[in-house]
């Protein structure tokens, strides 16, 4: 059992009262700076710099943590898709008997009723699929707290009407893989697949499916669909459209194209692929994917329409970490989050105006060293917190993880989260000092009262480090954590003689 330090961790608010208006703080900052010059104290200068930065405030961000999987030896998890309705979330995928050369694989679902904080395995007992051509859950929808539907590239639909207590296999008149499924309510839905009849609809929850009256010869390219209710459906044909819309259950059809030539300077060496589509904003929709230069090296691609596809714009964003966009939260609210394939540091894009403009943010896991590099799915809960599925490229544990973000509206709160969840023990001490923090793999240093660095180390992938303080003179010392260049005073410790 960890015992918090008997000396309260030194928080930035212990140095500068951040609630005081800036003009009233000026004399206090001047006194601190003069004191730092007189003492020639590096520590005071560090704390002063931190306080000045915190007082300026910052844009919103998230503190991320892994909430699943277990790292049980011998099993691997592949969370390929995720959907939430309220606080109810369901992830779909497979679990295997370990590694990439597995012989046994099983379709499975994971359920959370607390916004992705905890997960429970729901095994539908469909048997080993290790030798089946398709073995991925390609799309899932948490329709409401009881109803969930999922599509697979094996050609099967999976359906539960009782919150996952029982799962049934449904057939939709195809032997080809299913790419996407969507329901406007628990009864009315649409699915798109490969094969000669790619569009199917249902009005009884999927117990029976009807082939859509409208079909085209480009069946293999229908990869996204949406049901709006009252006979209105939309489907998207990649990589550049068109988007087909019906308001009378496919008796008549309107189609619109994405006019990519007017958005991006095309050359004979460039390849543009909108591999994904977001229909969840009504007449506001976003196509996204990847730009290939010379058809090899890529960067993210995104185009937005607010008039049902009649006109398109290229929202401004710059991101040097993400190579390809592959998932996005719903457009039914102002805040939207997008993710994809990224190099370190892992990153997401977020928008606060329904995708009109975007910012990027690095993802740092507070409780794990998993090397997450590809977002498979991402959802935004009603409270503004995101839940996501990421592939894990580390050679241990699961091949993918479920992570959860907690919205932090300023850097002040983000740093306070780290400081107040960091502990030093035993305190006082004479031989060793244990340090534990949610900030993993970060430099940590011990300074004396004059600001001289006495000891240094790096927290482990579990956020732990042990200092040998047996050779330090008796006295009071400060522990400073380097959080990506921001020096956080996480505590002070008393070193006593033996």
CA distance 224 to 182: 9
- 434-449 in b/e form (b: 16+ CB < 10 A) is ebbbbbbebebbbbbe
Residues 47 and 136 in one domain: no
Residues 437 and 309 in one domain: no
Residue 287 within a domain: yes
State how far the Cα of 351 lies from the Cα of 345, in Å rounded to an integer: 19
| pLDDT at residue 414, rounded to an integer | 67
The CA distance from 17 to 22, in Å, is: 10
Residues 73 and 53 in one domain: no
Lowest mean pLDDT among 69-83, 114-128, 170-184, 191-205: 69-83
Shared domain check, 470 and 325: no
Euclidean distance between CA atoms 239 and 277, whole angstroms: 10
In a domain, 463, yes or no: yes
Residue with the bigger pLDDT between 75 and 320: it is: 75
pLDDT digits (tens, 9 = 90+) for 202-253: 999 999 999 887 766 555 578 899 999 999 999 998 888 889 999 999 999 9
Q: Which domain holds residue 205?
A: 61-409
Closest alpha carbon to 455 in 474, 483, 436, 480: 480
Contact 10, 490 (CB under 8 A): yes
- Report which DSSP code applies to 282: T
pLDDT of residue 41: 47
Tell me which of 386, 409, 432 is where a domain ends.
409
CATH number of the domain encompassing residue 244: 2.130.10.10
For residue 455, what are the β-bridge partners? 446
pLDDT score of 70: 62
pLDDT at 344 (0 to 100): 56
Same domain, 222 and 100: yes
pLDDT score recorded for residue 198: 86
**Three-state secondary structure call for residue 490:** strand
Domain tally, the chain: 2
Q: Convert the pLDDT of each residue in 11-20 to its tens digit.
A: 333 333 333 3
What is each CA distance from 279 to 51, 141, 225, in whole angstroms?
44, 14, 8
Residues in a beta bridge with 359: 350
Q: Which pLDDT does position 431 carry in this prediction?
A: 92
Q: Per the domain annotation, does 365 fall within a domain?
A: yes
Q: Answer whether residue 375 is part of any domain.
A: yes
For residue 7, tell me if it sits in a domain. Answer: no
Q: How far is CA 337 from CA 246, 350, 354, 378, 393, in A?
A: 28, 4, 9, 7, 22
Place of tokens 């140095």: 15
Whether residues 126 and 137 share a domain: the answer is yes
**Domain endpoint, select from 409, 425, 455:** 409
CB atoms within 10 A of CB 277: 25
Distance CA 340, CA 103 (A): 29
Q: What is the pLDDT of the chain when averaged over all its residues?
A: 79
Residue given tokens 């200068």 in the structure block: 45
The whole-number average pLDDT for the span 452-460 is 91
Predicted confidence at residue 130, as pLDDT, reads 62
Sequence-separated (6 or more) residues with CB below 8 Å from residue 197 = 173, 174, 211, 212, 215, 219
- Look at residue 435 and tell me if it is in a domain: yes
Q: Say which range, 293-297, 310-314, 377-381, has the weakest mean pLDDT.
A: 293-297
Q: Calculate mean pLDDT across residues 157-164.
A: 95
- Residues 372, 224: one domain? yes
d(CA 143, CA 85): 7
Which H or E element spans position 43? Answer: helix 42-56
**pTM above 0.85?**
no
Answer for the pair 218, 194: CB distance below 8 angstroms, yes or no: no
Backbone angles phi, psi at 288, to 5 degrees: -150, 160
Q: How much is the average pLDDT of 306-316?
A: 89
């Amino acid at each position: 059992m960890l015992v918090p330090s008997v000396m309260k961790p030194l928080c930035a608010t212990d140095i500068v009262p951040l609630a005081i208006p800036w003009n009233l703080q000026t004399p206090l900052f001047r006194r601190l700076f003069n004191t730092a010059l007189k003492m020639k104290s590096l520590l005071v200068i560090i704390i002063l710099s931190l306080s000045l930065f915190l007082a300026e405030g910052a844009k919103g961000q998230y503190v991320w943590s892994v909430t699943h999987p277990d790292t049980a030896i011998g099993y691997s998890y592949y969370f390929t898709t995720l959907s939430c309705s309220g606080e109810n979330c369901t992830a779909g995928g497979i679990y295997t008997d370990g590694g990439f050369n597995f012989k046994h694989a099983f379709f499975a679902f994971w359920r959370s009723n607390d916004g992705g904080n905890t997960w429970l395995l729901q095994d539908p007992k469909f048997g080993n699929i290790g030798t089946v051509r398709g073995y991925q859950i390609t799309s899932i929808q948490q329709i409401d707290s009881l109803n969930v539907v999922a599509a697979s590239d094996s050609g099967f639909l999976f359906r539960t009407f009782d919150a996952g207590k029982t799962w049934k296999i449904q057939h939709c008149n195809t032997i080809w893989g299913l790419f996407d499924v969507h329901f406007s309510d628990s009864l009315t839905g649409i699915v798109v697949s490969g094969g000669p009849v790619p569009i199917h609809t249902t009005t009884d929850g999927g117990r029976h499916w009807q082939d859509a009256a409208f079909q085209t010869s480009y069946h293999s390219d229908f990869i996204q669909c949406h049901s709006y209710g009252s006979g209105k459906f939309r489907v998207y044909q990649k990589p550049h459209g068109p988007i087909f819309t019906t308001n009378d259950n496919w008796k008549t059809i309107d189609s619109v194209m994405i006019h990519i030539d007017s958005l991006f300077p095309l050359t004979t060496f460039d390849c543009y692929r909108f591999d994904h589509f977001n229909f969840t904003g009504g007449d506001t929709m976003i196509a996204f994917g990847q730009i290939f230069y010379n058809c090899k090296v890529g960067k993210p691609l995104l185009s937005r329409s607010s008039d049902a596809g009649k006109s398109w714009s290229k929202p401004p964003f710059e991101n040097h970490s993400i190579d390809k966009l592959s998932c996005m939260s719903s457009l039914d609210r102002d805040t939207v989050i997008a993710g994809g394939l990224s190099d370190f540091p892992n990153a997401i894009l977020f928008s606060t105006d329904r995708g009109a403009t975007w910012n990027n943010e690095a993802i740092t896991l507070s409780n794990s060293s998993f090397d997450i590099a590809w977002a498979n799915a991402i959802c935004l809960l009603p409270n503004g917190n995101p839940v996501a599925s990421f592939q894990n490229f580390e050679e241990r544990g699961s091949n993918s993880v479920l992570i959860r973000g907690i919205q932090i509206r300023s850097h002040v709160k983000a740093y306070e989260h780290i400081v107040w969840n960091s502990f030093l023990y035993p305190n006082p001490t004479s031989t060793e000092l244990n340090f534990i923090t949610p900030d993993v793999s970060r430099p940590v240093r011990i300074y004396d009262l004059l600001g001289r660095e006495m000891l240094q180390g790096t927290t482990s992938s579990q956020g732990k480090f042990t200092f040998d303080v047996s050779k330090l003179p008796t006295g009071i010392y400060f522990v400073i954590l380097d959080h990506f260049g921001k020096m956080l005073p996480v505590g002070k410790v008393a070193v006593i003689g033996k």
